[in-house]
């Protein structure tokens, strides 16, 4: 898979935390990052450099500027940055990175539209009348901030009547505000709280930064996303099924809660499981083990079973000896199964995948960060028809599998690339750019990195004392 480079940092000896011999000193150092959190940027112990090959490094992209090189990257193997498959494919000889840099732009139409929007915003910036910080505005309120809110929504084309100074916050203003919130993927409650006001007050400077961040993310993607592939935009709660350069299906999604945020990565879908069992992960599983001890009847009523990890057999929670035993909880297929009717597996180190959900009422909300990290998809049967259509299955075949009272596990012969992405500036079907809420707060960290603003390195961990029994 071919990755594009985003930036290369020319590093002198003074920037290197790892001493290199004269023969080993590289002329360029690639700095790697992603947009999830600073702890993922490599200098806080996160796994980072497993290979000296440039194509592997480029997979994590580069946004840091001159002057700071994470210790984790400063290894002698960096001397071989311009070697390996990536260098061969891109005509890089010696330590010359120019072929990688000049080939950095994406050919995707969405990338081009974001570039055009960046030019337009820079050339003709808007100057919105600021609503400003203050108490949450809601129906019945009056005052200068309500007037500014009405003027801003009128300016955005969401409110036909600009009203008169001193008019009350009425039903028409509330409806216009809800449309704005829904368009930005905010909770569409018709109340102008701090997050909504911040989006309304966003001017040219912020939009320029937001466009820069999203263009940067485009440059992290493979040049070839796959002839037939799936894209999930976390921030837009949207899944797209692509084939031959066009979108064939669109599905609404739910994503991870803030404390269990869905990560950005790409892997190949290899398995579809219809009427799946759910093997509970550690944290959730331990809570269900406790439920089995306190109230086994309730756990059984929800389709859960208790499995002895040593024997692999199901055990009776009413009679089992709990002393010194290890258990795992599994859930049988059914209407309450946490995976719903189907799950789409693309093995990855995050243990994140796409699946149905019994919590379908959440799809009625504009903001849908509700899962434990996986991507929940609306209308999963239709997605299964699209995926399995590539394996020669008809819609009737898929329907029959769903209606069977057993688990059907299909290993795909034609694996489908799945790209879990994070874009807060997107284009609609008419080619217009739409800005969505930065639900995980990732934009600013990326903008800081692009501008060379680095957080201080973490303090060194205190030494641990060994004990006579041996420290772990």
Higher pLDDT, 292 or 386: 386
What pLDDT is attached to residue 127? 61
pLDDT at 176 over 80: yes
pLDDT at 458 over 70: no
Mean pLDDT for the chain overall: 76
Q: How far apart are CA 268 and CA 415, in angstroms?
A: 6
Strand partners, 273: 343, 409
313-372 tens-digit pLDDT: 898 989 888 887 888 899 899 888 999 999 999 999 999 999 999 999 999 998 999 999
Match 């898979």 to its residue by tokens.
1
Instruction: Pull the structure tokens for residue 24.
Output: 């080993």
Instruction: Quickly state the pLDDT bin for 454 (edges 50, 70, 90).
Output: confident
pLDDT at 4 over 70: no
Instruction: Quickly state the pLDDT bin for 170 (edges 50, 70, 90).
Output: very high
Higher pLDDT, 63 or 351: 351
Instruction: Quickly state the pLDDT bin for 469 (edges 50, 70, 90).
Output: very low
pLDDT at 194 over 60: yes
Whether 124 and 116 have beta carbons less than 8 Å apart is answered as no
Instruction: Quickly state the pLDDT bin for 395 (edges 50, 70, 90).
Output: very high
Exposed, middle or buried by CB within 10 Å (0-12, 13-18, 19+), for 466? exposed
Domain ranges of the chain: 9-102, 144-200, 221-277+336-423, 279-331
What pLDDT is attached to residue 252? 97
428-439 tens-digit pLDDT: 877 888 899 999
Instruction: Quickly state the pLDDT bin for 283 (edges 50, 70, 90).
Output: low
Q: How far apart are CA 65 and CA 377, in angstroms?
A: 38
pLDDT at 106 over 80: no
The reply to whether CATH 2.40.440.10 applies to domain 221-277+336-423 is yes
Angle separating helix axes 109-123 and 204-220, nearest 10 degrees: 160
pTM of the model: 0.71
Instruction: Quickly state the pLDDT bin for 420 (edges 50, 70, 90).
Output: very high
pLDDT at 82 over 80: no
pLDDT at 200 over 50: yes
Whether 369 and 407 have beta carbons less than 8 Å apart is answered as no
């Amino acid at each position: 898979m071919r990755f594009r480079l985003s930036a290369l940092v020319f590093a002198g000896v003074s920037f290197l935390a790892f001493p290199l011999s004269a023969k080993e000193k590289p002329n360029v150092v690639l700095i790697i990052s992603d947009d999830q959190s600073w702890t993922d940027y490599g200098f806080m112990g996160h796994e980072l450099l497993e290979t000296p090959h440039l194509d592997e490094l480029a997979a994590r992209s580069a946004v840091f500027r001159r002057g700071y090189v994470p210790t984790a990257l400063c290894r002698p193997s960096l001397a071989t940055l311009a070697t390996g498959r990536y260098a061969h494919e891109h005509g890089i000889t010696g330590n010359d990175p120019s072929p990688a840099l000049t080939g950095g732009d994406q050919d995707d139409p969405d990338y081009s539209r974001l570039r055009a929007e960046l030019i337009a915003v820079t050339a003709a910036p808007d100057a919105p009348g600021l609503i400003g910080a203050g108490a949450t505005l809601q129906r019945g309120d009056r005052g200068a901030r309500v007037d500014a809110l009405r003027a801003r929504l009128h300016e955005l084309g969401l409110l036909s009547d600009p009203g008169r100074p001193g008019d009350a916050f009425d039903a028409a203003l509330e409806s216009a505000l809800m449309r704005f919130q829904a368009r930005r993927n905010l909770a569409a409650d018709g109340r102008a709280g701090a997050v909504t006001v911040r989006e309304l007050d966003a001017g040219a400077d912020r939009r320029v930064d937001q466009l820069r961040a999203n263009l940067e993310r485009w440059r992290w993607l493979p040049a070839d996303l796959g002839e037939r592939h799936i894209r999930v935009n976390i921030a837009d709660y949207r899944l797209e099924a692509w084939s031959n350069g066009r979108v064939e299906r669109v599905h609404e999604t739910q994503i991870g809660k803030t404390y269990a945020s869905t990560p950005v990565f790409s892997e190949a879908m290899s398995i579809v499981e219809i009427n799946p069992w759910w093997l509970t992960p550690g944290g959730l599983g331990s809570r269900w083990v406790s439920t089995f001890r306190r109230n086994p009847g309730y756990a059984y009523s929800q389709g859960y079973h208790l499995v002895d990890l040593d024997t692999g057999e199901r055990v009776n929670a009413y009679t089992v000896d709990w002393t010194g035993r290890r258990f795992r909880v599994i859930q049988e297929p059914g209407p309450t199964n946490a995976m719903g009717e189907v799950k789409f597996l693309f093995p990855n180190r995050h243990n994140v995948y796409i699946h149905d959900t019994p919590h379908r009422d959440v799809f009625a909300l504009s903001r849908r960060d509700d899962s434990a990290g996986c991507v929940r998809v609306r209308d999963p049967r239709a997605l299964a028809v699209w995926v399995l259509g590539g394996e020669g299955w008809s819609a009737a075949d898929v329907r029959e599998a769903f209606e069977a009272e057993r688990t059907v596990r299909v290993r795909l012969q034609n694996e489908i690339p799945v790209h879990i992405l994070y874009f807060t500036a997107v284009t609609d079907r008419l080619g217009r750019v739409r800005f969505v809420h930065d639900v995980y707060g990732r934009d600013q960290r990326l903008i800081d990195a692009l501008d060379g603003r680095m957080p201080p390195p973490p303090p060194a961990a205190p030494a641990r004392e060994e004990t006579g029994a041996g420290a772990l």
